């Protein structure tokens, strides 16, 4: 069972850019623009979903929807549990790439 703090960690600590990059052809098209990462909004299809680096949430400036990592995975066809399992693995890899020890969220 997913704990609340793990869900928070995969929403907040795993950069959406990494999620979009890892999804590759299965996810939306995305690119860096003026220091912000934008990707194609799964709701309206415009390249207007822009990641806010402060809270790691994407906001679409076309249809005004907010999208987080979990939303994005589910919009790409994953069910909730596989989505958070995959994101949790990517977060662990991301954090070990950074040379960080595990956060309190993933420690037992």
Please say whether the beta carbons of 72 and 42 come within 8 A: yes
Piece of 11-19, 34-42, 68-76, 77-85 that binds Zn ion (CB under 5 A): 34-42
Does 43 sit near Zn ion (CB under 5 A)? yes
Min separation Cβ 48 and Zn ion, Å: 6
SS (H, E, C) the chain: CCCHHHHHHHHHCCCHHHHHHHHHHHCCCEEEECCEEEECCCCCCCCCEEEECCCCEEEECCCCCEECHHHHHHHCCCCHHHHHHHHHHHHHHHHHHCCCCCCCCCCC
Min separation Cβ 9 and Zn ion, Å: 26
What character string, x for contact with Zn ion (CB under 5 A) and - otherwise, covers 49-78?
Answer: -----------x-xx---------------
Does 29 sit near Zn ion (CB under 5 A)? no
Min separation Cβ 72 and Zn ion, Å: 12
The footprint of Zn ion (CB under 5 A) covers 41, 43-44, 60, 62-63
């Amino acid at each position: 069972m997913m704990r609340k703090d793990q869900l928070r960690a995969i929403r907040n600590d795993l950069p959406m850019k990494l999620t979009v990059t890892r999804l590759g052809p299965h996810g939306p098209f995305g690119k860096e623009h003026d220091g912000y990462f934008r990707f194609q909004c799964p709701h309206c299809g415009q390249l207007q979903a822009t990641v806010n680096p402060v809270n790691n949430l994407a906001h679409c400036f076309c249809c005004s929807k907010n999208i987080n990592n979990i939303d994005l995975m589910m919009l790409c066809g994953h069910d909730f549990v596989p989505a958070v399992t995959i994101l949790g693995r990517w977060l662990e890899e991301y954090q070990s790439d950074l040379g960080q020890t595990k956060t309190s969220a993933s420690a037992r």
